[in-house]
Amino acid sequence: MKAIESLKEKFSDKIISHDSFAGQDFITAKKECLKDMAVFLRDELHFDFLSDLTCVDYKGYPGRENAPRFETVYHFYSHKTKERISLKFPIEETSPNIDSLTGLWLAANWYEREVYDMYGIHFTGHPDLRRILMYEEFKGHPLRKDYPLKARQPRIPHED
């Protein structure tokens, strides 16, 4: 049984949609079930590798006017079954947060910090959620669609 079928069976009430394209399976689910789905993927379906985590900002995207602004996207791989699966979780602009997966995959630490830094998504339970690419005094989140292109940033004091 493919992973997508197992997830659909176990989390049917939490799944918003599912799709496959070019051999890649995608599931969009409610953000409240992220940890449960991740544990199931790791422990039951042998997805031992979190290969990537990113975010999408849909602000101004045609046809998504009433949909949540953000979506976190997790890419998993199983070395045992050679399967890949992606999980997507919509996140409202008014409450941009989702659970951290750092307790399940160490790689999530830096991925989550990058998404926090670039998009402003807060990862609940992250052990050290701070900027990783931009300096601490940087104002805003540069990959958000509403980030001003000509924004001026505070200067970093130069130490000799």
pLDDT tens across the length of the chain (160 residues): 589 999 999 999 999 999 988 888 999 999 999 999 999 999 999 999 999 999 999 999 999 989 999 999 999 999 999 999 999 999 999 999 999 999 999 999 999 999 999 999 999 999 999 999 998 888 999 999 999 988 888 777 767 6
If we measure between CA atoms, which residue out of 22, 25, 21 comes closest to residue 6? 25
How many Cβ atoms are within 10 Å of 121's Cβ, its own excluded? 20
Say which CATH topology domain 3-124 has. Beta Polymerase; domain 2 (3.30.460)
Tell me which long-range contacts 16-21 makes (C-beta under 8 A, separation of at least 24). 16/90
Please provide residue 139's backbone torsions phi and psi, each rounded to the nearest 5 degrees: -100, 125
To which residue do tokens 């590798």 refer? 49
Q: Are 47 and 29 in contact (CB under 8 A)?
A: no
pLDDT value, residue 116: 98
Q: pTM of the predicted model, to two decimals?
A: 0.92
122 DSSP 8-state letter: E
To which residue do tokens 């199983």 refer? 78
Structure tokens at 11: 């989390």
Residue 38 to residue 54: CA distance in whole angstroms: 15
Q: What are the residue ranges of helices labelled H in the chain?
A: 3-10, 34-43, 108-119
- According to DSSP, the β-strands at 15-21 and 24-29 are antiparallel
pLDDT value, residue 114: 98
Residue 53 to residue 115: CA distance in whole angstroms: 8
Residue 103 to residue 121: CA distance in whole angstroms: 18
